[in-house]
């Protein structure tokens, strides 16, 4: 049995008196693609942001690639600032609003972190970036600025920017939610390719069809807790939990196909 | 002068009477430029630090910066200059007029720069820093490579305005014996008794300096704007 790449155990997150995550525990095995679904406000994005420590959990432990962090001892976290950064370099994150850096060209967006964070030689970083951009068919855009690209192109560059750090785990936070319906496909296709190549992925999504067809496992988050989890195809076609059923009915109850979101 | 009938001769005579003072005035312009450059550099340092402090979540960092900005913006610049030049020596630290002037104006302008920078910082979407932090950049790298280059472009027009104000404010330093353009003009007037001529000349020289400052800024702005 392979060892889990990521282990969360009883992760809690509070903002003042508001408890957003009420004890989340799960393992992620290498090459697994996990879809995290749930209503807005259920805590699924917070959960994702806790994994690469954009939000520091209030308590619980997180173990990634052999590094264990215990959040009940916050004073140790400060001293471990550097190792938190090192952890982040091995976890790629893609955001809903792309968050490309507008003052840098497409190529510079991709090479910036390898050069500044990893200390990679510029020539090598450029080489890697060009290969990645060629893969997504955007090599000819490498000297343009992000504002000249479509949303789908920007999001694919954002994915490539994360891949340039050769992460062991990729986090996707509702990456198609800000896109025009006709641009969603190209981004999902790229994610499906990554999944097929064996990238370990945690995907917060509203694309139920994508979750069903691409992810290996689905986690349904409700009210800050995992309400149900299981193999995606099974769980999304015949959910055991009544809350999951209700949620899926609401999400899928649309006259058009599931991927065309309102 | 009224003895001259020919206007050309009159003009020549006027020019002759002015001419000998011009090198001195131009020299004092050089002092204005030196003062302005030093003050601008100091004000940017003070402004950046105070802006970052004021936006910090740590009260220990935030509180002094808030006090600094509040104090400077609420008191006359001239009083601030007097505090530094006349006040501080009473505590035992003697500053040359030039040093005192640069410190007083730099710290003073810094508070205004801080508010400009703070506005620029708040215009950068949170996602910009988040994606930088998420990919492993340190707070300093994020500031240096992601945030500040974007802030610079946003704040260039108001920061230019502040630089022009700084240049004009150097005339306040005439009160602490720095022979910059204003004090130089006053000295010339005190023995020529021709305030109209020399204040107008001083104004023209100030205009020349502020105009070149503004057109330099416009040029930089154009270069930055074309990129993205």
pLDDT tens digits, B185-213: 999 999 899 999 999 999 999 999 999 99
Q: Which residues contact B162 (CB under 8 A, 6 or more apart)?
A: B43, B109, B112, B113, B116
Residues 6+ apart with CB under 8 A from A204: A35, A36, A37, A44, A45, A47, A48, A171, A172, A173, A174
Least confident of A107-121, A185-199, B2-16, B151-165: B2-16
Sequence-separated (6 or more) residues with CB below 8 Å from residue A262: A254
Bridge-based pairing of strands A217-222 and A59-64 is: unpaired
Report the pLDDT value the prediction gives residue A82, as an integer from 0 to 100.
64
Asked whether the beta carbons of B95 and A63 are under 8 A apart, the reply is no
Per-residue model confidence as pLDDT tens digits over B140-154: 999 999 999 999 999
pLDDT of residue A258 exceeding 70: no
Enumerate the residues of chain B whose CB falls inside 8 A of the CB of residue A99.
125, 127-128, 130-131
Q: A240 exposed, middle or buried (CB, 10 Å; 0-12, 13-18, 19+)?
A: exposed
Distance from CA of A246 to the nearest CA of B (A): 32
Distance from CA of B152 to the nearest CA of A (A): 11
Task: Choose among A54, A113, A116: nearest Cβ to B130.
Answer: A54
Helix (H), strand (E) at residue A37: strand A33-37
Are B135 and A145 in contact (CB < 8 Å)? no
Question: Do A76 and A70 contact (CB within 8 A), yes or no?
Answer: yes
A166 interaction partners in chain B (CB closer than 8 Å) = none
- CB–CB of A59/A19 below 8 Å? no
> At CA A18, angle to CA A12 and CA A21, rounded to 5?
25
Is residue B223 over pLDDT 90? no
State yes or no: pLDDT of A77 exceeds 60: yes
| Mean pLDDT score, A96-105 | 95
- Percent of chain A at pLDDT exceeding 90: 73
In percent, the amount of chain A with pLDDT more than 70 equals 92
Q: Residue A62: beta bridge partners?
A: A8, A69
Q: Give the one of B136, B150, B228 whose C-beta lies nearest to A89's C-beta.
A: B136
Cross-chain Cβ contact B131/A101 below 8 Å: yes
Would you give the distance in Å from CA B134 to the centre of its chain?
Answer: 38
Query: What is the chain A residue with the closest CA to B137?
Result: A117
Task: Count Cβ atoms within 10 A of the Cβ of residue B69 and give its class: 0-12 exposed, 13-18 middle, 19 or more buried.
Answer: buried
| Averaged pLDDT of chain A | 90
Q: What's the CA gap between B110 and B103, in Å, rounded? A: 10
**In this model, does residue B157 exceed pLDDT 50?**
yes
d(CA B215, CA B206): 14
Q: How far apart are CA A85 and CA B192, in angstroms?
A: 69
| Interface contact B227-A145, CB threshold 8 A | yes
> Is residue A141 less than 8 Å (CB to CB) from chain B?
no
The alpha-carbon gap from A231 to the nearest alpha carbon of chain B, in Å, equals 29
Tell me whether residues A145 and B132 touch, CB distance under 8 A.
no
Pairing relation of β-strands A18-28 and A201-204? unpaired
ipTM (interface predicted TM): 0.88
**With contacts defined as CB-CB under 8 Å, which chain A residues touch B228?**
102-103, 145-147
Angle at A259 between CA A236 and CA A106, to 5 degrees: 120
The per-residue pLDDT for A41 is 86
Q: What are A160's two structure tokens?
A: 């490539």
- Two tokens, residue B77: 């610049």
Q: Which residue has the tokens 């299981």?
A: A230
CA distance B195 to A148: 58
Measured in angstroms, the CA of B145 and the nearest CA of chain A are apart by 9
Residues A183-240 have pLDDT tens digits of: 999 999 999 999 999 999 999 999 999 999 999 999 999 999 999 999 999 999 888 8
User: Rounded to an integer, what distance in angstroms lies between the CA atom of residue A154 and that of residue A94?
Assistant: 11
Listed in order, strand segments (DSSP E) in A115-224 are 169-173, 201-204, 217-222
Contact A113/B149, CB-based, under 8 Å?
no
Quickly list DSSP for B113-164: HHHHHHHHHHTS-HHHHHHHHHTT--HHHIIIIIIHHHHHHHHHHHHHHHHH
What is the distance between the alpha carbons of residues A18 and A20, in angstroms, rounded to a whole number? 6
Name the class of domain B35-227.
mainly alpha
Residue A69 has pLDDT above 90, yes or no: no
Q: What share of chain B is helix, strand, coil (3-state, %, to 5)?
A: 85, 0, 15
pLDDT confidence band for B6 (50 / 70 / 90): confident
Instruction: Check whether A254 has a pLDDT greater than 80.
Output: no
User: What is the predicted pLDDT for the residue at B5?
Assistant: 74
Domain ranges of chain B: 35-227
| Residue B1 pLDDT greater than 90, yes or no | no
Residues pairing with A229 in the sheet: A219
Report the candidate in B218, B214, B108, B225 with the shortest Cα–Cα distance to residue B163: B214
Average pLDDT over residues A119-147: 95
Q: What is the model's pLDDT at position A260?
A: 42
**Predicted confidence band at B77 (pLDDT cuts at 50, 70, 90)?**
very high
- What residues of A are in contact with residue B138 (Cβ under 8 Å)? 85
The tokens describing A98, both together, are: 């792309």
Q: What is the pTM of this model?
A: 0.85
Please report residues of A whose CB lies closer than 8 A to that of B141.
Answer: 116-117
What pLDDT score was predicted for residue B216? 94
**CA angle, residues B51, B56, B61, in degrees to nearest 5:** 85
Whether the CB-CB separation of A222 and A17 falls below 8 Å is answered with: no
Backbone angles phi, psi at B136, to 5 degrees: 110, 5
Comparing A254 with A60, which gets the higher pLDDT? A60
Q: What per-residue confidence (pLDDT) applies to A79? A: 62
Chain B contact probe: residue of A99, A107, A108, A148 with most B CBs at under 10 A: A99
Q: Is A112 on the interface with B (CB under 8 A)?
A: yes
Domains delineated in chain A: 1-90+168-256 (3.40.50.300), 97-166 (no CATH)
Q: How far is CA B200 from CA A184, B10, B36, in A?
A: 66, 18, 21
Beta-carbon separation of B135 and A161 below 8 A: yes
Q: Would the pLDDT of A21 be above 90? A: yes
Q: Which residue of A has its CA nearest to B129?
A: A99
* More confident site: B56 or B225: B56
Pinpoint the alpha helices (H) of A136-198: 151-163, 181-196
Query: Is the pLDDT score of B27 beyond 90?
Result: yes
What pLDDT, on the 0 to 100 scale, is given for residue A261?
A: 44
Interface residue A175 vs chain B (CB under 8 A): no
Rounded to whole angstroms, how far apart are CA atoms B131 and A92? 10
């Amino acid at each position: 049995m392979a060892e889990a790449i990521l282990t969360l155990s009883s992760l809690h997150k509070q903002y003042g008196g508001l408890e957003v995550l009420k004890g989340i525990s799960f393992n992620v095995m290498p090459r697994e693609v996990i879809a995290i679904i749930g209503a807005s406000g259920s805590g699924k994005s917070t959960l994702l942001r806790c994994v690469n420590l954009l939000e520091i959990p209030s308590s619980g432990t997180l173990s990634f690639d052999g590094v264990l962090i215990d959040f009940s001892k916050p004073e140790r976290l400060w001293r471990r600032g550097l190792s938190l950064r090192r952890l982040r370099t091995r976890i790629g994150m893609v955001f809903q609003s792309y968050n490309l850096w507008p003052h840098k060209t497409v190529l510079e967006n991709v090479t910036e972190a390898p050069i500044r964070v990893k200390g990679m030689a510029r020539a090598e970083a450029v080489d890697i970036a060009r290969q990645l951009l060629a893969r997504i068919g955007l090599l000819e855009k490498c000297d343009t600025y992000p504002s000249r690209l479509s949303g789908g192109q920007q999001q694919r560059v954002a994915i490539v920017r994360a891949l340039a750090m050769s992460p062991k785990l990729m986090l996707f936070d509702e990456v198609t939610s800000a896109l025009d319906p006709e641009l969603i496909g190209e981004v999902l296709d790229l994610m499906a390719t990554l999944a097929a190549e064996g990238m370990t992925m945690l995907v917060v999504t509203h694309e139920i069809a994508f979750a069903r067809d691409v992810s290996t496992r689905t986690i349904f988050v409700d009210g800050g807790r995992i309400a149900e989890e299981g193999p995606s195809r099974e769980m999304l076609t015949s959910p055991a939990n009544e809350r999951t059923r209700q949620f899926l009915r609401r999400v899928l109850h649309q006259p058009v196909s599931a991927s065309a979101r309102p | 002068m009224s003895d001259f009938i020919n206007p050309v001769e009159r003009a020549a005579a006027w020019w002759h009477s002015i001419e000998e003072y011009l090198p001195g005035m131009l020299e004092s312009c050089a002092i204005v430029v030196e003062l302005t450059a030093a003050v601008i550099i100091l004000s940017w340092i003070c402004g950046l630090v105070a802006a970052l402090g004021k936006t910090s979540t740590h009260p220990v960092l935030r509180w002094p910066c808030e006090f600094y900005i509040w104090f400077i913006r609420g008191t006359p610049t001239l009083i601030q200059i007097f505090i530094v030049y006349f006040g501080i020596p009473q505590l035992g630290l003697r500053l040359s007029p030039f040093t005192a002037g640069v410190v007083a104006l730099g710290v003073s302008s810094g508070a205004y720069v801080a508010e400009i920078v703070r506005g620029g910082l708040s215009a950068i979407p949170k996602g910009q820093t988040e994606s930088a932090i998420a990919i492993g950049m340190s707070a300093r790298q994020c500031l240096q490579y992601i945030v500040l280059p974007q802030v610079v472009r946003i704040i260039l027009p108001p920061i230019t305005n502040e630089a022009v104000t700084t240049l004009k404010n150097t005339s306040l330093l005439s009160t602490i014996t720095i022979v910059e353009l204003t004090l130089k003009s006053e000295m010339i007037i005190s023995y020529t008794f021709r305030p109209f001529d020399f204040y107008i000349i001083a104004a023209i020289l100030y205009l020349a300096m502020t105009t070149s400052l503004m057109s330099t800024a416009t040029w930089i702005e154009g270069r930055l704007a074309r990129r993205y």
